[in-house]
Amino acid sequence: MIPAHNEEVTVAGVVRGHRETARALASSFELIVCDDGSTDGTWAELQRSCNEVAELRLLRNPSRLGIPPTMKRLYAEARGEWIYFTPGDGQVPAAALEPMWAIRDGAALVVGRRVPRRDPASRVVIAQLYSGLLRRIFRLPVHDTQTGLKLYRRPVIARILPRLVIKRYAHDLELLVNVHRLGYRIAETPVVVTRVRPFPRVGFADAWHVAWDTAAIFYRTYLLRYYDRIGPEADALTADSVWDLDDLA
């Protein structure tokens, strides 16, 4: 599953790379890309890619919705047992799927830990402090909570999505917190990252929003107990698609 917003330079290469990697790992697979309201030539590039990649299916948001709504739309289209999410910006090579695929057995969710972090030193320090704080307060067995690289078992993400509230900044954290609180095993493995842009799109100005969303998740988890209370209702929505996952706890 590949969300893409204004990625005309990279998206065709991302699709081709993941097609080759998936062919080496699985006997059958599908590639689903959602153009999240791009204003450049992303959609045209994706349409051209359809002529080369038979496994490719395309979705298009008429305006930019952001990652959480796009994730839900991509999930609704998915048909496989495993769902892999990766950004369409080319920051992470398709080969990053290989180590995650190798350790998937017995896990409900596999997270890719980006190494090395090629951000400026100040951003790396802030990210490490933030991740350390999250591991302490939420007891998460994950060192890189904000990575977009995740490999889910389909029924797990089916249970999690109806519980999610965050619309933008800390949606990855909210997802991880809910997977962990439901008792599923989360595995993590290093993946090598590259950089095709001089600096990431999310800047320091967004730090306040990340902090606010993080505080909101803490409030819903430990004070409001929202995720616990919404659980039965959320599970009822996905009862037909939730498999027996006791062996993943």
* pLDDT value for 47: 97
149 close to 94: Cβ distance less than 8 angstroms: no
* Residue 138 and residue 244 share a domain: yes
Cα(8)–Cα(53) distance, integer angstroms: 17
Q: What is the DSSP string of 171-239?
A: HHHHHHHHHHHTT--EEEEEEE---SSSS-SS-GGGHHHHHHHHHHHHIIIIIS-HHHHHHHHHHHHTT
Name residue, tokens 């999930």: 75
Q: Which two tokens stand for residue 5?
A: 């917003």
pLDDT tens-digit map of 184-206: 999 999 988 876 555 455 555 67
Which of 73, 90, 107 terminates a domain? The answer is 90
* Residue 39 and residue 102 share a domain: no
What integer is the mean pLDDT of 13-23?
Answer: 96
Least confident of 82-86, 90-94, 151-155: 90-94
CA dist list (Å): 231 to 42, 122, 141, 166, 203: 38, 39, 22, 16, 34
175 close to 160: Cβ distance less than 8 angstroms: yes
Cα(222)–Cα(228) distance, integer angstroms: 10
- Count of domains observed in the chain: 2
What integer is the mean pLDDT of 157-171?
Answer: 88
* pLDDT value for 148: 83
* Residue 108 and residue 196 share a domain: yes
Q: What is the CATH number of the domain that holds 67?
A: 3.90.550.10
* Residue 72 and residue 135 share a domain: no
Give 92's Cβ-side CA count (13 Å radius): 26
Q: Note down the domain range covering 206.
A: 92-249
Which of 70, 90, 110 terminates a domain? The answer is 90
Eight-class DSSP state of 204: G
Handedness of CA 236, 221, 148, 211 (dihedral sign): positive
* pLDDT value for 242: 45
* Residue 218 and residue 148 share a domain: yes
* Residue 55 and residue 135 share a domain: no
Percentage of residues in the chain having pLDDT higher than 90 = 63
Handedness of CA 186, 172, 29, 20 (dihedral sign): negative
* Residue 249 and residue 158 share a domain: yes
* Residue 148 and residue 84 share a domain: no
* Residue 245 and residue 124 share a domain: yes
H or E element in which residue 48 lies: helix 42-50
Which of 55, 90, 125 terminates a domain? The answer is 90
* Residue 14 and residue 117 share a domain: no
Write down the pTM of the prediction.
Answer: 0.88
* pLDDT value for 199: 45
Cα(147)–Cα(134) distance, integer angstroms: 14
* Residue 127 and residue 31 share a domain: no
Cα(136)–Cα(139) distance, integer angstroms: 5
pLDDT, greater one: 80 or 146: 80
